[in-house]
């Protein structure tokens, strides 16, 4: 129960930070550093809680993939150097590889439909393509 409350609170905070930036007419990376750090912290907690919920079979993987995407964007918004952005994107690919492996195990065990594995693979490939594109720029 506490994990669910933490995940909900983290999601609400991350949404609030993103909404604050939109209302101010800017992007999340226009926010003060403290808010961007807090956003990453909240989204990491959300991702962790979502991973555990999916692993336990309580939530569908699509929620975990959404949490991973939001965390990736928050991490990219947090940093300013090319090297740090590449590092954040490499972390995203690794994180999505873990999700892909988890979902593949669940599909193999008959706990999830094969379409979930396809979606997890697509998300990992999307992150890898974003990383390649970032490496080609500059």
Give the model confidence (pLDDT) of 28-58 as tens digits.
668 899 999 999 999 999 999 999 999 999 9
Q: Which domain holds residue 131?
A: 2-136
Q: What confidence tens digit (pLDDT) does each residue in 94-136 have?
A: 999 999 999 999 999 999 999 999 999 999 999 999 999 999 9
Q: Rounded to an integer, what distance in angstroms lies between the CA atom of residue 22 and that of residue 103?
A: 34
Q: Which residue has the tokens 């954040």?
A: 88
Q: What angle is formed at CA 88 by the lines to CA 85 and CA 67, rounded to 5 degrees?
A: 130
Residue 24: pLDDT band (50, 70, 90) is very low
Q: Rounded to an integer, what distance in angstroms lies between the CA atom of residue 28 and that of residue 62?
A: 23
Q: Which residue has the tokens 């998300």?
A: 123
Side-chain half-sphere of 105: how many Cα atoms within 13 Å?
9
* pLDDT for the residue numbered 30: 80
User: Model-level pTM?
Assistant: 0.79
In the predicted structure, residue 64 carries a pLDDT above the cut 50: yes
Q: How many domains does the chain have?
A: 1
| Segment 10-35 mean pLDDT | 60
Q: Contact 79/114 with Cβ under 8 angstroms?
A: no
Q: Rounded to an integer, what distance in angstroms lies between the CA atom of residue 52 and that of residue 47?
A: 9
* pLDDT for the residue numbered 138: 65
What angle in degrees, to the nearest 10, is found between the helix axes of 61-78 and 82-108? 170
Residues 6+ apart with CB under 8 A from 94: none
Cα separation values, 96 from 64, 100, 122, 130, 133, Å: 9, 6, 10, 13, 17
């Amino acid at each position: 129960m506490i994990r669910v409350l933490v995940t909900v609170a983290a999601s609400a905070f991350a949404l609030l930070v993103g909404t604050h930036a939109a209302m101010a007419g800017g992007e999340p990376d226009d926010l003060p550093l403290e808010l961007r750090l807090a956003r990453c912290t909240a989204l990491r907690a959300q991702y962790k809680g979502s991973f555990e919920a999916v692993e336990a079979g309580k939530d569908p993987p699509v929620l975990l993939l959404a949490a991973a995407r939001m965390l990736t964007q928050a991490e990219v918004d947090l940093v300013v150097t090319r090297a740090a952005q590449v590092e954040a994107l490499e972390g995203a690919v690794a994180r999505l590889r873990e999700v892909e492996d988890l979902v593949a195990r669940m599909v193999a065990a008959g706990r999830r439909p094969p379409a979930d594995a396809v979606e997890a693979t697509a998300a990992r490939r999307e992150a890898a393509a974003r990383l390649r594109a970032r490496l080609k720029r500059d």
